Amino acid sequence: MDLTRLPARHSGSRPARPRRASFTRTVAGATARATSGAASAATAKAGMKTATRVALAASLMTTLAVSLTACSSSSPSLYTLAPVAGPLQPVPLGFTTPNLLPSVIEVRKPTIAGALDRDRIVLSDSGYKLRVSATDSWSGPLIDQIPHVLAQDLAQRLPGISLFVQDDATATTPQAYVELVITRFARDDANNAVLEAQVAVHREDSDAPKISRTILLKTPAPGDTGAMVSALSTLLGQASDQIAAQIRALPPAQSQ
């Protein structure tokens, strides 16, 4: 058989296949672009969240700094009552004997209306409304300040009589007592400082009669808190004038 006469096979006789490589590259490129776009969007979103957190943190720090500054700048001013000199009411020589006038008197700590018994200063008490200072405070409780100022006022007005305050360290036995109930100690709606109190003076004997009276005193107190505290100190001095007279009016001690 003559093989040379058989028809020759051509390697290129098979139909050409589609260009898959080009399509694959196109799809891969699109996928890569989509992936890159999604990654960029995610990065941008994460960046926005981070920026928001930073902004919120900065805002909180600013608020905290302002709050701390406000707290430090609103530290209260402290006020103290002070004794006020008044007319002398000297006790005649020889009258400070147990059966005449007491030589040693204890000023007891007062009972103070609950509305007044606070650290912050009550600026006014009128018209069913209590106005309390937001920045001004007493340097110490009124239950301690008032009797100590009163004792100093009375000692100045009654030379020859010793006075001390309840719970003060002393070995002296009192022969008489001064007791107070404070019901008003602030401004009224007319800008007057007002002191209203019930006062009782009596000898140390529990059966001894008491000299009691109501004290109502007012004085103009325009201006700031310091002016009001000064006016209240003046009123305590005026109250001491009346209490000194009560002490001088004590009946003789009962015979044993």
Residues 6+ apart with CB under 8 A from 231: 193, 219, 220, 221
> Residues 6 or more apart from 160 whose CB is under 8 A from it?
90, 91, 96, 103
Within a 13 Å sphere around the CA of 175, how many CA atoms are in the beta-carbon half? 17
Q: How far is 240 from 199, CA to CA, in rounded Å? A: 10
pLDDT in tens, the chain (256 residues): 444 444 444 444 454 555 555 545 554 555 555 555 555 555 556 656 666 665 666 665 655 554 544 454 567 799 999 999 999 987 765 555 555 789 999 999 999 999 999 999 999 988 788 999 999 999 999 999 999 999 999 999 999 899 999 999 877 899 999 999 999 999 999 999 999 999 999 998 867 778 899 999 999 999 999 999 999 999 999 999 999 999 999 888 776 5
Measure the CA–CA gap between 55 and 157, rounded to whole angstroms.
68
**Cβ-count burial 77-92 (b if 16+ within 10 Å, e if not):** eebebbbbebeebebe
Burial 14-51 (b: 16+ CB within 10 A, else e): eeeeeeeeeeeeeeeeeeeeeeeeeeeeeeeeeeeeee
Q: Which two tokens stand for residue 75?
A: 């530290």
Return the structure tokens found at 192.
């007057």
In sequence order, the β-bridge partners of residue 19 are none
**Helix (H), strand (E) at residue 61:** helix 20-73
Q: Would you state the pLDDT for residue 240?
A: 97
**Sign of the alpha-carbon torsion through 112, 118, 120, 122:** negative
Residue type, 39: A
pTM of the complete model: 0.70
Beta bridge partners, 147, equal none
Q: What six digits make up the tokens of 78? A: 């402290």
